[in-house]
Amino acid sequence: MKKLMNEKVVIVTGAGAIAEGWSNGRAAAVLYAREGARVLAVDRNAQSAEETCAMIREEGGECEVFSGDVSDSGDMRRMVQATIDHFGRLDVLHNNVGIAETGGPVEASEESWNRLVAVNQTSLFLTCKYALPVMERQGHGVIVNIASIAAERWLGFPYVGYSATKAAAIALTQNIAVQYAAKGIRANCVSPGFMETPMVRTSLTSAYGGDTDAMLEKRHAQCPMGFMGDAWDVAHAALFLASDNARYITGTNLIVDGGLTLKCA
């Protein structure tokens, strides 16, 4: 059986993991490779990206590493060029990098707001800025941006910077989808709901009173299906959107949340 991403070249930003376990980016990179893609694993933490790359190579996949800051224009220009140098083209840009910080407009610092905008929002602008001309010259390409249901829903505590930047990710994706549709380029979002990932455990425990186990239990209980999703649920959704099976889908926001956004409370 032909693999979904056979010989396609995929950039995955945030392909490392902030702590032990399967992050969204690491799972996506590994899954793309399992489906035949040649992957550029990108992360600011080179060691973590190397760990992801080693997993892919151990399974017989093809992967290279690029260490860079997604909010730095020069790094992102070099990232796209490194992809061309290694693989000769670019078929899929998977923008996974994101950070979560809590607080409303009064509680959150300006530094927090600016950090969230740079990492969650400006990074998408920069990666697309340099990837799109390559895809346009090829006459094809796919962009998958990881957003969040926080763009549309109150999730139990003030989350203004994160929510605003994830809403911007959806709007940016829709703009690109329309502008580049006739040029053979598709752009879509995946919006995860409550996921059990290293970032959630690391960045959100304090918002739940500092007890990680209590936080996880509460978040599981809030999901209509009775459990949170994980990085593989997000990765499989992204794989579908990146594949030719989604050839007529662009500008959409695929919600992966076990029904959470359908609840009133």
Q: Which residues belong to the active site?
A: 162
Tokens of 221: 């209980």
Q: What are phi and psi of 252, to 5 degrees?
A: -95, 165
- The residues, any chain, with a CB within 8 Å of residue 96's CB and separated by 6 or more, are 12, 13, 14, 15, 24, 25, 28, 146
> Rounded CA gap, 34 and 19, in Å?
23
Cα–Cα distance measured from residue 59 to residue 23, given in angstroms and rounded to the nearest whole number: 18
In whole angstroms, give the CA distance from residue 185 to residue 177. Answer: 7
- Which 3 state secondary structure label does DSSP give 41? strand
Cβ atoms of 245 and 39 within 8 Å: the answer is no
Report which DSSP code applies to 3.
Answer: -
Structure tokens that stand for 157 in this block: 């505590």
Question: What are the tokens at 109?
Answer: 């610092």
Length, in residues, of the chain = 265
Chain position carrying tokens 């080693």: 54
Nearest to 68 by CA among 49, 43, 39: 43
SS3 call for 189: strand
78 in Cβ contact with 127 (< 8 Å): no
